[in-house]
Chains A and B, each alone.
Chain A
């Protein structure tokens, strides 16, 4: 059949159509109702709680507990006047659903915390990072060793490389692009060195083998004439090859060449998580859907991962010695199967997966098929927090579900053998057993990496790796600096939690930070060399704990200027858990860069204009405290020739309407106030609760969060005790149906 006869179904263009012609199309084969209507509890938490209190207890706004107003009256008030500063944001059904919610839930009895409401039972889809960590553990595909760190005092050229290029004719720009920077033609600019008559770029590079080229004037790709090795680039040209190895005999083996990590490669195209507005973390269960793109990528990942692990796959699943398929099937579904599903398989599942092995050509193929199939199973992809029904109508997590909750909370990965054993022998059925395992997991180095993951998401700084900054204004802000800033943030938080005082306030009051030579020289700190991170004391102007982290200062800025608004909002939302409505229409954007004025002067209209001051008195007075730092985290003492004014005032630090003010002269003073603030401490507990539990708490979780906060307080605000407290909370192992 000719395509033209089949493919073009729309008929003659002149036919036209009207709705009647169109109607005969087949009705949808299924009708999907709303999967999750937007919860009025979530809307209340996001739009109302910051003024009216989480459970209606009142604050800047009126108290709503046991309200004398009718649902209709409340609806009308919300519809016409709420939220403050942005009326109209919640009309009609939005207003009435919140009014009903307030009337039905906000009672003095609920406020008393006599009982702790369980959260909704959920299936939690593995995030990309959890998926990667899990398959590394299951298939024995460890992450490539981290770049060797050079102890201080050794050859400073170790771990660095200088690229040099002399073009045959004048060039306007030269960049170096290669396997170390994703072949970005713009990421690594070179600088013209007039004295040497050549283009140069010096970069931190871990030991390894790299391919690269120079990009001249943005479009011309040329190989390095001075390279000692090269290989075909697939276009008839040659890539230059660079092999770096520190001369030190004692140096660790070179890292594998970039781009060969099979797990990274197999999972590169997994879809990005969709994070709900105001939820900082990647693990929100309610917004994780498996689309066909996911299925496609899961299949692809399963195929690549089993291929990458093929040489030891039989050993991994326990079939090394099994000569026949039946024996292997039996072993695989009982041993490896339990690890993949984080629980023993049901009889039907054993049959299902066993048949993949017995029905295969040979053991080899059977193992590969079973592993690939398991990696696509919902029992692998979701970690279950569904629980089993209890007589009182609630649900209780099984010991295996508890095991997974512990391991993903503290390690971001699948339970180890000891944890599965604890699930099997019943030790995880008691709070004491749960606590014992929690403490064991926290003592493992993996807990550090997981806390670092939390820290970067809590601070919102993961994107510092790619967020654009003006290269013209900030040439020193290189990719190496970006990477080192992220490592600084990880080290600061984990060292406080695991090595330092363990206390929350040290996150803000520490006088030191962690830098490598790249970051030290970028910050203007002396005495640091090499690529190893080390702890350094900071001059007073740079102190402030997490507030003065390069990554935080850079993240809360625009491409060409620091932003007191973004920085103030960061403190009020990420650190104090306050929510602000979006700026009203006609608010105007960022004031233009003015070469004659300071940033602070440009933003003065906020506090001069009564329409702005309602919110901005809370935001700007905090944000101005960061004015000594530019858009890329460097200290400055003047701006456009004017001295910097970094003093400020924090209004109502504990709660909107608490009517307090704190005046500060320096960022460390501001940080000190946050460190001592009850609001900041309980906010931190709340943020960790969100991360650990994978949902945004509402008034229903108020009592559970209060319980976690109480344990945190009783420990003297010990960060490790907070992490344990989340799994000791009375709502940790109980659930309800939606």
Chain B
């Protein structure tokens, strides 16, 4: 397909060859632990916090109490009322006092639970431990998260202490990378010979394509890297560990499995289709030839605020599709970036829409000392947070709509909603807004509000890690172990 329309139909060409690592991955997992673990975790981040406890002491609008089916949700969480029974609403968790009052300070602690981001983030840890046998150990998708050459402290994923990586902001690139596997009929040695944006379906084998070359390149690159490591001191060597892991991951993916294994999971869910009208075709997901359509633009259009909802939607759908097809167990979706300049009043079809006025996320978050409904900053901020929450709700609903085993994908998943500060005006790092959705394979009993006053949010991350099967007792600074009662 040429770039002739903004609507792009992406079609992967996983074929028999690339469906195989998936089967391999699930087998390994199954043997690792037969019951009671989350199959996957997705961290869903959005910027600039919530209308929490105000400077003047008014109570937080982010509140939940009771148990499903009579769970009571405050104004900011009410977009989740339809799926409240699938969520645990956590309150009272603290990120500590270091850098309190700072957006970047909060973003650094959010998934590392270490002051200053001076530690690996839990998503990266899970990716390289319990997630390492997946074709993609880690999938990090963004929506306008790299806008304005965002400095590294805007990103929440830390492969190593103090160092972030940038998410993939382009849904087309993300989809291509994940799903454009070897084309049917060619050996499983070329990871994306099939070009994603092809309207002719799986690309035919291209004349002159050398299927062995990628594997050979990886072999020589590994040999060179081992030579290089040998010349380094121990402290320098660890720096290249991420690189080494990366080469191994791609090599594993490329090697795949013998072509006699049948494609699987044809019955796992529906084709992911995005449209503003919300129309979606009947479920017919085929992981051997996944496809997706979305209205996301490319190039500079990826950073136009009016396109943000479509871009985010496409990234959520890509993530769900990747997870449904077993491509990964660990995902991070980063919507925008802290202290966001995203002009949310340009989102058409929402209650925030106002073509005559630019209301930015960070601007609205500084609504003042009081919860004043007549103050436009405050009233827009409430709308904005509700919109973010509804996007998380969409992600959860997508997982819930896909059958998996004797339940749905959501039954086997954990999805965490998070932001880098609590109240957006005071930049508080206390009583952080977290919602955990999904039953984690039976680990988590949902439909509850739970309060953990005085506990650190690293304890929540440790709990999630345990639910994924990782052997961690605590996570980050000042952790004291898994949150009591959250699992089981």
Contact = CB atoms under 8 A, between A and B. Distances in A.
Whether both chains belong to one complex is answered with yes
A157 interface: no
Contact of B470 (A28, A294, A375, A462): A28
A693 B223 CA distance: 28
Contact-size category for B: 35 or more
A472 B355 CA distance: 8
A165 B119 CA distance: 57
B442 A16 contact: yes
A183 to B, nearest CB: 5
Interface string B119-138: 11000010011101000111
Contact of A183 (B36, B102, B301, B360): B301
B97 A184 contact: no
A6 B26 contact: yes
B298 A183 contact: yes
Interface stretch (A82-90, A319-327, A525-533, A665-673): A82-90
Interface string B77-117: 00000000000000000000111111111000000000111
Contacts of B282: none
Contacts of B160: 32, 34-36, 289
A361 to B, nearest CB: 9
Interface in A439-476: 460, 462-463, 465-468, 470, 472
Given A16-B445, A32-B120, A221-B6, A378 B487 contact: no
Interface in A293-327: 293-297, 299-300, 302-303, 307, 310
B397 interface: no
B390 interface: no
A213 B304 contact: no
B405 to A, nearest CB: 3
B149 A25 contact: no
Contacts of A374: 220
A379 B228 contact: yes
A22 B30 contact: no
Nearest to B424: A589
A211 B300 contact: no
B486 to A, nearest CB: 10
Contact of B3 (A30, A179, A349): A179
A13 B239 contact: no
A233 B2 contact: yes
A8 B98 contact: no
A227 interface: no
Nearest to B206: A307
A356 B213 CA distance: 9
Interface stretch (B10-18, B68-76, B246-254): B246-254
Contacts of A16: 36, 442-443, 445, 488
A146 interface: no
Helix, strand, loop or mixed for chain A's interface?
Answer: loop
Given A3-B264, A11-B36, A376 B163 contact: no
Contacts of B227: 346, 348-349
A303 B163 CA distance: 29
B469 interface: yes
A398 interface: no
Given A28-B128, A36-B162, A274-B163, A10 B37 contact: yes
A292 B249 contact: yes
A91 B96 CA distance: 10
B260 interface: no
Nearest to A238: B4
A25 B116 contact: no
A240 to B, nearest CB: 10
B100 A185 contact: no
A22 B247 contact: no
A182 B3 CA distance: 8
Contact of B360 (A28, A307, A558): A558
A15 interface: yes
A34 B360 contact: no
A292 B137 contact: yes
B194 to A, nearest CB: 12
B426 A368 contact: no
Contact of A17 (B37, B176, B348, B364): B37
Given A185-B297, A379-B228, A17 B341 contact: no
Given A373-B217, A377-B220, A377-B224, A10 B104 contact: no
Interface stretch (A579-587, A645-653, A654-662): A579-587
A6 B221 contact: no
Contact of B231 (A352, A386, A559): A386
A462 B443 contact: no
A244 B158 CA distance: 48
A520 to B, nearest CB: 24
B280 interface: no
A586 B5 contact: no
Contact of B220 (A290, A291, A356): A356
Contacts of B373: none
Contacts of B116: 38, 43, 94
Interface string B281-301: 000000000000000011111
B204 interface: no
Nearest to A179: B3
Contact of A372 (B208, B217, B245, B445): B217
Nearest to B488: A18
A603 B218 CA distance: 57
Given A27-B471, A36-B162, A89-B98, A293 B177 contact: yes
A91 B116 CA distance: 11
Contacts of B164: 274, 287
B336 to A, nearest CB: 12
A462 B405 CA distance: 49
A373 B471 contact: no
A233 B9 CA distance: 13
B411 to A, nearest CB: 6
Q: Specify which of B35, B306, B307 lies most central, judged by the most chain A CB atoms within 10 Å of its CB.
A: B35
Given A183-B297, A269-B177, A299 B341 contact: no
Interface string B16-39: 000000010011011011111111
A424 interface: no
B45 interface: no
B214 interface: yes
A587 to B, nearest CB: 7
A695 to B, nearest CB: 13
A533 to B, nearest CB: 22
B118 interface: yes
A589 B102 CA distance: 14
Contact of A34 (B23, B118, B199): B118
B300 A181 contact: yes
A92 interface: yes
Q: Specify which of A6, A179, A386 lies most central, judged by the most chain B CB atoms within 10 Å of its CB.
A: A6
Contacts of A22: 33, 36-37, 443, 466-467, 469, 487
A617 interface: no
A590 B364 CA distance: 9
B479 to A, nearest CB: 14
Interface stretch (B57-65, B166-174, B314-322, B450-458): B166-174
Contacts of B358: 468, 470, 558-560
B242 A88 contact: no
Contacts of B364: 589
A291 B159 contact: yes
A369 interface: yes
A560 B223 CA distance: 54
A584 B425 CA distance: 10
Given A9-B39, A269-B168, 12 more contacts: A6-B30, A6-B264, A10-B39, A25-B33, A36-B163, A36-B239, A183-B301, A186-B307, A234-B1, A234-B5, A277-B151, A585-B425
16 contacts: A10-B36, A16-B36, A17-B442, A19-B488, A24-B33, A36-B160, A89-B98, A181-B299, A235-B4, A235-B199, A239-B4, A293-B140, A369-B213, A372-B213, A589-B366, A589-B377
- Cβ-closest 9 pairs across A and B: A10-B441, A182-B299, A8-B405, A589-B366, A233-B4, A25-B469, A17-B36, A11-B35, A35-B160
